[in-house]
Structure 1
Amino acid sequence: MGGLLAGIALAGFLVLVQPDRWLGLGIALAAPALAMCVVAGVLIGEVTAAAPQGTRRSAALEVRTLRSYLPRTLTWSAAVTVTGLAALLTATGLTGDADDLGRAGRVLTLTCGADGTQSTGPWPGTYYGAPIGAAVLAGLAGAGLAARTVVGRRRPDPAVRGADDLLRRASVRTIVASAGLLAATPLAGAAALTGHILVRSSCASPALHAIGWTATALAAVAGLGACGFAAEVLLPRRTATTPPRRSDAP
């Protein structure tokens, strides 16, 4: 909960207090910052969890794997979202141009035949894509570390293995949802900007108009996905009853 509250505060700060010279970059980084704080909160909670106490302790001989605790559908959804964001930012980064102040990737320049060129922005090129990509990569690295920590920590009591597995699965689910949110929100924003510029440009060819409508549809899907991931983070499932799909315990 502490990570979630810190993330909300940081996201609000980036949205409301960002300097004018950032040109909207704070809004683009707000959701990744929120997700990173949630992941950090889970990681800190697992690292600082109290170890078993007492002079006599018992342990179960078992091999736990991260795959056993991953929620299949949510994991695939997050992976597809991250892949989509990487593909879109790569494409917009390669096609973006510098604006009139030399800021790389902030505009899209299209040739209008004999009438010259038309530059339109803001375009989600490298000016926005580079920091977003760096934030998402850092967040994914933190999510991977947090998930490994959740799976690898010692059991507080082997006698309560079932309840402990449910807690691990809930923590891993929150981490995966945070990773999905980390990518879904900037994907929705970047796709919406891409679609808006391509659809409204008078210099865009029919093919570019089609790409623009496709990007607009992608923005809507990514927005719905972000809402779903956010619901998983804010309202985590703590009552799952299905055990891990695979157990290596003897």
Structure 2
Amino acid sequence: MLELGSRTSASASAPASASAPASRAPVDRYARWTGLAVGALASRWLLPMNNGEGTLYAIVVFGLCAVAGVLLGDILTAPRRGAVRTAALTPRRVRDYVPPRMTALLLALATALVVLLTAAATVASPDDLGRAGRALTLTCRGVTESAGPWPGLYYGLPILASLALATAACGWSLRRIATRPGDEQSRRDRALAIVAAWGLVVSSSLFGVASMVSGALMSTTCDGALGVAGNWTVWPLGLIALLTAPWCLFTIISPRATAWRGRRAGTGGTDRR
């Protein structure tokens, strides 16, 4: 795609705020809220499940519904077209529209989530009913202790699948936003909303997994120094995820995904998230 320059002097002098961003369209806002509402209802239905399964799955489902709502709003809302323009040889890239600092943080959290689930799966064991990948079993001083739920493959695979699904859907949407017609601010607003929706899946899933790992380690006395190190690893991750999730949620429910202007937009603003 080619970045476009203004054809007429009148169009060139028009302020960027003259046309309201498409992200303010009611259908977009209602779609986001509907996704969150459906996620909340589904989460409430899943919460009563035993052994902590309900809480973990409720967190994952809520995040996926939030992503679905944002994507649906983007698809149903036509891009806002500005003045007639002429072409200039400046390609539009996805990275020009996403908030760089928040995106880097979310990518780091996603990596931590995958590493944590992989490590948990390697030490997972069957629970007291023989179901594989649901518990952590340790032996010390001739005593064997089993603690759960533990995010082995039984819990980890659905989380990884939801992360992969959300990543693919949001990546496709960001590419679509960057290459389709529309005004610059609208692209940035929508890209921010997509990143926030993906971030909600990442941060909420990481918080759930960190809580599960910490709960299992704290319920056994055979964890030793390895368990202490594990807790001191997952506690900061859980705290960061807990602080990140509200930002993502606020961005999704806001009428306009917090406007920000970067130097690449050519608007003269300097705020970068």
TM range (shorter): 0.7 to 0.9
What residue in structure 2 maps to residue 240 of structure 1? Answer: 260
- Distance, in Å, in 2 between the alignment partners of 1:7 and 1:111 is 45
Q: Which has the higher strand share?
A: 2
Q: Segments of 4+ in structure 1 off by > 6 A?
A: none
Contact 1:108 1:120 in 2 (8 A): yes
- Distance, in Å, in 1 between the alignment partners of 2:228 and 2:80 is 61
CA 1:209/1:46 → structure 2, altered by over 3 Å: closer, same or farther?
closer
Is 2:137 the partner of 1:109?
Answer: yes
Is 2:121 the partner of 1:93?
Answer: yes
CA 1:86/1:18 → structure 2, altered by over 3 Å: closer, same or farther?
same
Residue 4 of structure 1: SS of its match in structure 2? Answer: helix
Match of 2:231 among 212, 222, 227: 212
What residue in structure 2 maps to residue 121 of structure 1? Answer: 148
Is 2:165 the partner of 1:138?
Answer: yes
- Distance, in Å, in 1 between the alignment partners of 2:164 and 2:187 is 24
Residue segments in structure 1 that go unaligned for 5+ positions in a row? 156-163
Moved more, 224-233 or 41-50: 41-50
CA 1:50/1:76 → structure 2, altered by over 3 Å: closer, same or farther?
closer
- Distance, in Å, in 1 between the alignment partners of 2:149 and 2:137 is 11
- Distance, in Å, in 2 between the alignment partners of 1:42 and 1:190 is 24
- Superposition deviation, residue 98 in structure 1: 1.5
Residue 244 of structure 1: SS of its match in structure 2? Answer: helix
AA aligned to 2:141 is G
Contact 2:96 2:264 in 1 (8 A): yes
Number of residues paired by the alignment? 235
Match of 1:193 among 212, 217, 222: 212
TM-score (norm 2): 0.75
What residue in structure 1 maps to residue 8 of structure 2? Answer: none
Residue 101 of structure 1: SS of its match in structure 2? Answer: coil
TM-score (norm 1): 0.82
Q: 1:148-159 alignment to 2 at 5 Å?
A: 148-155=175-182
Residue 146 of structure 2: SS of its match in structure 1? Answer: strand
- Distance, in Å, in 2 between the alignment partners of 1:11 and 1:46 is 18
- Distance, in Å, in 1 between the alignment partners of 2:76 and 2:138 is 54
Contact 2:39 2:66 in 1 (8 A): no
- Superposition deviation, residue 239 in structure 1: 3.7
Match of 1:222 among 215, 232, 241: 241
Residue segments in structure 2 that go unaligned for 5+ positions in a row? 1-28, 268-273
Moved more, 141-150 or 204-213: 204-213
- Superposition deviation, residue 246 in structure 1: 8.0
- Percentage identity across paired residues of the two chains: 31
- Distance, in Å, in 2 between the alignment partners of 1:119 and 1:109 is 4
AA aligned to 2:193 is T
Alignment RMSD: 2.7
- Superposition deviation, residue 52 in structure 1: 8.5
AA aligned to 1:231 is F
Moved more, 90-99 or 18-27: 18-27
